[in-house]
Structure 1
Amino acid sequence: MMTFVLGGGCFWCLDALYQKTRGVTDVISGYTGGHTPDPDYDAVCTGTTGHAEVVAVTFDESIIPAEVILDMFFVSHDPTTLNRQGYDVGTQYRSSMFYQDTEQKELFERSVERNQESWSAPIVTEVSRLPRFHLAEEWHNNFYAKHPEQGYCQVIINPKLAKARKYYAQWLIE
């Protein structure tokens, strides 16, 4: 098993995608990359804690390659916008990848290079060492599955899932 900590805007979007991905065994929403010792959602939303909304994605490499998990990440958000994903603006929504060791750092850097050819603007995804991972409040986990009728899910998450399905249907569970 391998775990990647990834931020692509609101963690609900990545959670929704990876919850539907073959070989993924766990997706946990959280916060990392900031300077506040014990962040919570309200504090992170102010944009003053330095933390990014992220998910820790644990997957079985014998079922899904690490490169596919990372390529799905780059399809599911716009990695060329600094501190913004659609209407979500602030450092907490930055595109980010937090590595746990040198192997992950190299894997992340190669994925940025590989995916750059799909974007006309430069990818600005932060690649940093993983500091402490803070669990988000439980209600953030599996948000899309619990609230598919919610407006954010309908307007923001559904189009992202449709885009991922276009490129990665063979890896998604319906």
Structure 2
Amino acid sequence: MKGRGQQHDLTLSQQLLFLKANPAVGGAGTVRANRLTWQVPIQPTALARSYLATVTYQPGQTPDVQVDDPDLEILADGRPLPHVYRDPLRLCLHLPGTGEWTARKRIDQTVIPWTYLWLYYFEDWLWSDDWKGEGQHPGDEPEPIRNRALRRAVARS
């Protein structure tokens, strides 16, 4: 039992309710077989192309985001995609183990805005060939962590 003032993990039904109730988040989704699926159309800026992304989330895991349309690899025209995970191709939206994402946080207030931001930087990268979204890329050597609390959190993950 949680003590007074401590938060509980959000259930899949709560996450779905928050996604449906948030006027800034479009799309639709379901909860089936202990899995939340939310499909959302995203246009990161007024001049950017439109994307269709799918968020999947199961308790005990972090949410995954895949871009269904258009195909990011075709848009990249043979260049290796920055800041993604492979098999299957998913967006890298946060650094695991740092507390940026926990099951107590709302997907509509974290993962969806992060997806908009990732696609914004992706659109810029297509033109400039320079990823300005920062962050640690999967497979890269981590930079030395100067913040003691962050260093401990990463070491535990």
Give your verdict on TM over 0.5: no
From the two aligned structures, give the one with the greater helix fraction.
1
Question: TM-score, normalised on structure 2?
Answer: 0.25
Greater RCO (Cα-Cα under 8 Å, separation 6 or more): 1
Please report the TM-score for the alignment, with normalisation by the length of structure 1.
0.23
Larger radius of gyration: 2
